[in-house]
Structure 1
Amino acid sequence: MNAVIMDSPAAIPGLAWNNRFAALGPDFFTELQPTPLPSPYWVSRNQALAREMGLEQPWFESQAALALFTGNQLVQGARPLASVYSGHQFGQWAGQLGDGRAILLGELETANGPQEVQLKGAGMTPYSRMGDGRAVLRSSIREYLCSEAMQGLGIPTTRALCVTGSDARVRREEIETAAVVTRTSPSFIRFGHFEHFSYSGQHEQLKTLADFVIDSFYPACRESAQPYAALLQAVSERTAKLMAAWQSVGFCHGVMNTDNMSILGLTIDYGPFQFLDAFDPGHICNHSDTQGRYAYNKQPNIAYWNLFCLGQALLPLIEEQEQALAALESYKTVFPQALEARMRAKLGLPDARPEDKTLIENAFKLLAADKVDYTIFWRRLCHFHTPQGHEVVRDLFLDRVGYDAWALQYSERLAPVDIGLQADLMLKTNPRYVLRNHLGEQAIQAAKLKDFSGVNTLLTLLQAPFEEHPGHDSHAGFPPDWAAGIEISCSS
């Protein structure tokens, strides 16, 4: 297929488009068409998500679908656009940003409810700044796999429907090939959208945006005496729960700028992310983050800082600063409660007791002191009640005395707990599989040679990360020594 848009617009069988975001008006976006890529090919299709959305399998595997999700064919009923937003990047006001390499096709009415469909890497937009509007195969595979990994873990996230590739060359640190990842979400609106209209003094547009978000996603806020303060509180609480989820599985986002924060409390914009291997609370996964602003242990406070920025953006609508501060205050309560609840579940504790906080804190201290593999520790702990299981957990630690003291504390806490209930809860809470950097890298290197089996195998494992998946022990094992040398940056 040549790099030209096909003449006849395509339709998605059985599904209709809506364009609620486009209805907000031209102040919010620029309408444009994707820039086609030459000779596209399938890298991977997420059949499970396609079924959830109501996409017919024969169509999803067709050339028409390939052309549509590469940006090579027009879409009947869609209104492609790139939205404008602003934001704070690495703590500094960056001014106007926007969808520099993402084009929203519109909103599909699906079996999952309304879902926006966005092409990431489909060409330049007015907001590309110095960029080319393209995504590379490497970063597209990483986002595709990680968004579905988070979904499998039960963590709120945008989703990924498919990845298409092309041999078109793209320059990053080196020459790479182009790809497009199709993302879905109820909305891609970010904190930065509100900052854009607030900082530019466009308060009518700010109100229009806030009203749209409330009416579409937070209708209960409309019943409040101050609906915009209620919106800020609701977003704060969702974000607090998201941070608790990230911390509990050892997930590092890597670039928590305000333009990368979802107004719906979703994980969004997967770039230099990482799941922890050795547990290091101060781990910095983003090679571009030279000051360590977005280190793993700083993520909860950064989320609050970002929410404070959102609160400032909403002040023209809330009007009373004290109301905005009060709305943010719930974050400080919800986050620790949500994190403790998740950690209790990881320990197999069905109820809460005062001593649980100390038990959890002591576990983190032990893991950090010996740099114990985070995912493997929690998965092995699922079998703590068996003699052999206890020993394989103990083998992870150099400080055997310290571990034995904690294990005794843990055993005493487990005494009244039904062992079967405990083990079942832990096996459903502590994943066997996460998207480690080296697994993604192996799949990417094979994909560069047009072998996509590694990508599809990982997709299967990560969509059901709590299951055993016999025959895939290597995907659940310790990372190889070379994994420590993998560097990921904002270009990832």
Structure 2
Amino acid sequence: MQDVSLPELDRPDATPLGLHWRNRYAALGPVFHTRLAAQALPQPHWVATSDSAARLLGWPGDWAERADWQALEVLSGGRTWPGSEPLATVYSGHQFGVWAGQLGDGRALLLGEIDTPNGPMELQLKGAGRTPYSRMGDGRAVLRSSIREFLCSEAMHFLGIPTTRALAVVGSPLPVRRETVETAAVVTRVAPSFVRFGHFEHFAHHGLPEALRTLADFVIDQHHPACREAANPYAALLETVARRTATLLADWQAVGFCHGVMNTDNLSILGLTIDYGPFGFLDGFDPGHVCNHSDHQGRYAYSRQPSVAFWNLHALAQAMLPLIAMGGEVTEATGDLALEAIEPYKHTFSEAMAARLRAKLGLAGERDEDVALADDWLQLMATERADHTITWRRLAQWSPAEPQAVRDLFLDRPAFDAWADRYARRLALDGRAEAERRLQMDRANPKYVLRNHLCENAIRAAQGGDFGETQRLLKVLERPFDEQPEHSAYAEFPPDWAQTLEVSCSS
């Protein structure tokens, strides 16, 4: 697709201090993207900003209000900063296991890449208007979904889980129709790269081997340079992605995070959590929980996420076969090498998951009985749909002398007591002080996660013009492992009405 001519942009006279644009993805060429301007939101206003994301970029604390930055106008699509080259990237992918053909940034614009104290970072506007890849869509995001993505991006970061970041949400009275008429918003996302598995699938499927190689070389050179030293750099890249994806999935499973739409175009080549739509954190522990109301077959259920990620890696491996062949013909040996490259996903995930469960249980070292102890604990939780976050957090306070805080969460007390007796014997083998064990567990088991009802409260307030709850909730989520007694209400059991909340692909 050819680039669309940019309209004349209203550029401020003063360049924001410290913004040095690289635009390396733009330099790859027009086969990778379409250059175009955003469609400005009318009457924009700030909804929320993240001080932490701004610090990541090295920006001053008053960046959002500085007259010379004109940030509100830029991040609502009304202006561009000098040096920025807005574009929408093209990719393809498998959606719900079915080849969907060409996709692309249907409502996102990459503003470009800037130098920061933490390395180059890309800035992207989500909800900035229609692009050539919108596929009958309006290219807009609504306030509801933008607040959800903003809060969860930042919450995941503070949980220590690799993720794209969210700098700000800008709102507008512009009406947007989804299931009902809502108002528009734009969320500014930040990441070292927004390249997905689907970018590779696109060029492989459309028979563009040179573009496929250019993309792979770009990713290796900019993000995984160690792969260049391998005998087969492309197989090494595939293995690196497989390992990163494995540890990411272990992170998700450990905190009870459900992504909701694990399509190949929604998995990051850097192993970041990307594209927050119908996500959810588990309330009652149900391994079969499906957070996406649009996922009628339950493909992306919580317990299936690790296997789906491996399926997606197979799709990526298939796309990379021409590269792994290193200029030769794709043969059975090429396929074997690709499969060998993604095979480490299995043991990497298993080892990472086991390590996270040991930390959550407060175990020191490794013993043969640890896997069974953890599995039986999860089964006990699943049988009674024990609240995932609260039960794990309370377990840190458990001792044979003080069992009630966690024991009271289970109706089958004998089953809990039997497991707790095994747990006590295992802890005794470590010989650690109780305080040390509890401290470790409190650093592995968050007290605060972004439950759907907390997000819904912030959304409803914002839809009524009160953005304070979004900012307050963000501050709580920035310290997920701390007690924060002044905010304990955010850590309580979800109310009954939370069970009626539904999130779908429009979320």
Separation (CA, whole Å) in 2 of partners of 1:451 and 1:285:
27
Separation (CA, whole Å) in 1 of partners of 2:399 and 2:271:
36
**How do 1:466-485 and structure 2 match up within 5 A?**
466-485=481-500
Task: Indicate the residue corresponding to 1:155 in structure 2.
Answer: 161
Task: Indicate the residue corresponding to 2:385 in structure 1.
Answer: 371
Task: Indicate the residue corresponding to 1:306 in structure 2.
Answer: 312
**How do 1:286-297 and structure 2 match up within 5 A?**
286-297=292-303
Separation (CA, whole Å) in 2 of partners of 1:256 and 1:382:
32
How far is the alpha carbon of 1:59 from its aligned partner?
2.9
CA offsets per residue over residues 206-231 of structure 1, 9 Å max, x none? 00000110111111111111110111
Task: Indicate the residue corresponding to 2:247 in structure 1.
Answer: 241
Counterpart of 2:425 in 1: which secondary structure?
helix
The counterpart of 2:149, out of the listed 143, 146, 156, is 143
How far is the alpha carbon of 1:351 from its aligned partner?
1.0
Task: Indicate the residue corresponding to 2:435 in structure 1.
Answer: 420
How far is the alpha carbon of 1:8 from its aligned partner?
3.4
2:11·2:82 contact (CA, 8 Å) conserved in 1?
no
Counterpart of 1:479 in 2: which secondary structure?
coil
Separation (CA, whole Å) in 1 of partners of 2:478 and 2:424:
32
Residues 5, 37 of structure 1: alpha-carbon distance in 2 compared, 3 angstrom cutoff: farther
What is the aligned-residue identity percentage?
60
How far is the alpha carbon of 1:352 from its aligned partner?
1.1
How far is the alpha carbon of 1:15 from its aligned partner?
2.2
Task: Indicate the residue corresponding to 1:205 in structure 2.
Answer: 211
Separation (CA, whole Å) in 1 of partners of 2:266 and 2:231:
30
2:81 is aligned with 1:66: no
Residues 478, 76 of structure 1: alpha-carbon distance in 2 compared, 3 angstrom cutoff: same
2:203 is aligned with 1:190: no
Separation (CA, whole Å) in 2 of partners of 1:12 and 1:232:
38
CA offsets per residue over residues 257-287 of structure 1, 9 Å max, x none? 0000000000000000000000000000000
Separation (CA, whole Å) in 1 of partners of 2:97 and 2:223:
28
1:9·1:75 contact (CA, 8 Å) conserved in 2?
no
The counterpart of 2:341, out of the listed 286, 309, 327, is 327
1:9·1:74 contact (CA, 8 Å) conserved in 2?
no
2:44 is aligned with 1:40: yes
**How do 1:447-458 and structure 2 match up within 5 A?**
447-458=462-473
CA RMSD for the aligned pairs? 1.2
Task: Indicate the residue corresponding to 1:433 in structure 2.
Answer: 448
How far is the alpha carbon of 1:7 from its aligned partner?
4.9
2:475 is aligned with 1:460: yes
How far is the alpha carbon of 1:406 from its aligned partner?
0.7
User: Structure 1-normalised TM-score?
Assistant: 0.98
2:397 is aligned with 1:383: yes
2:422 is aligned with 1:406: no
CA offsets per residue over residues 236-258 of structure 1, 9 Å max, x none? 00000000000000000000000
Task: Indicate the residue corresponding to 2:22 in structure 1.
Answer: 18
Separation (CA, whole Å) in 1 of partners of 2:347 and 2:233:
21
Task: Indicate the residue corresponding to 1:77 in structure 2.
Answer: 83
Residues 386, 48 of structure 1: alpha-carbon distance in 2 compared, 3 angstrom cutoff: farther
Counterpart of 1:182 in 2: which secondary structure?
strand
1:10·1:68 contact (CA, 8 Å) conserved in 2?
no
Separation (CA, whole Å) in 2 of partners of 1:349 and 1:234:
29
Residues 352, 227 of structure 1: alpha-carbon distance in 2 compared, 3 angstrom cutoff: same
Q: What code does the residue aligned with 2:487 have?
A: H
2:400·2:424 contact (CA, 8 Å) conserved in 1?
no
1:35·1:122 contact (CA, 8 Å) conserved in 2?
yes
Task: Indicate the residue corresponding to 2:361 in structure 1.
Answer: 347
Residues 29, 360 of structure 1: alpha-carbon distance in 2 compared, 3 angstrom cutoff: same
How far is the alpha carbon of 1:420 from its aligned partner?
2.4
The counterpart of 1:446, out of the listed 449, 454, 461, is 461
User: Structure 2-normalised TM-score?
Assistant: 0.95
Q: What code does the residue aligned with 2:497 have?
A: W
How far is the alpha carbon of 1:447 from its aligned partner?
0.3
Separation (CA, whole Å) in 2 of partners of 1:370 and 1:444:
31
Separation (CA, whole Å) in 2 of partners of 1:161 and 1:79:
19
2:129 is aligned with 1:123: yes
How far is the alpha carbon of 1:448 from its aligned partner?
0.5
How far is the alpha carbon of 1:464 from its aligned partner?
1.1
How far is the alpha carbon of 1:384 from its aligned partner?
1.2
CA offsets per residue over residues 131-184 of structure 1, 9 Å max, x none? 100000000000000011100100000000010100000000000000000000
The gaps in structure 2 that reach 5 residues or longer are 1-7, 326-333
CA offsets per residue over residues 17-74 of structure 1, 9 Å max, x none? 1111111111100000000011100000101221221112233223611111111112
Q: Which deviates more, 107-116 or 192-201?
A: 107-116
Residues 77, 417 of structure 1: alpha-carbon distance in 2 compared, 3 angstrom cutoff: farther
Q: What code does the residue aligned with 2:355 have?
A: A
Counterpart of 1:58 in 2: which secondary structure?
coil
Residues 142, 490 of structure 1: alpha-carbon distance in 2 compared, 3 angstrom cutoff: same
Q: What code does the residue aligned with 1:115 have?
A: M
How far is the alpha carbon of 1:290 from its aligned partner?
0.2
Residues 10, 236 of structure 1: alpha-carbon distance in 2 compared, 3 angstrom cutoff: farther
Counterpart of 2:406 in 1: which secondary structure?
helix
Q: What code does the residue aligned with 1:382 have?
A: A
2:41·2:77 contact (CA, 8 Å) conserved in 1?
yes
Separation (CA, whole Å) in 1 of partners of 2:471 and 2:400:
35
How far is the alpha carbon of 1:387 from its aligned partner?
3.6
2:234·2:323 contact (CA, 8 Å) conserved in 1?
yes
Task: Indicate the residue corresponding to 2:56 in structure 1.
Answer: 52
Counterpart of 1:157 in 2: which secondary structure?
coil
Counterpart of 2:21 in 1: which secondary structure?
strand
Separation (CA, whole Å) in 2 of partners of 1:35 and 1:79:
15
1:10·1:73 contact (CA, 8 Å) conserved in 2?
no
* Number of residues of Structure 1 aligned to a counterpart in Structure 2: 488
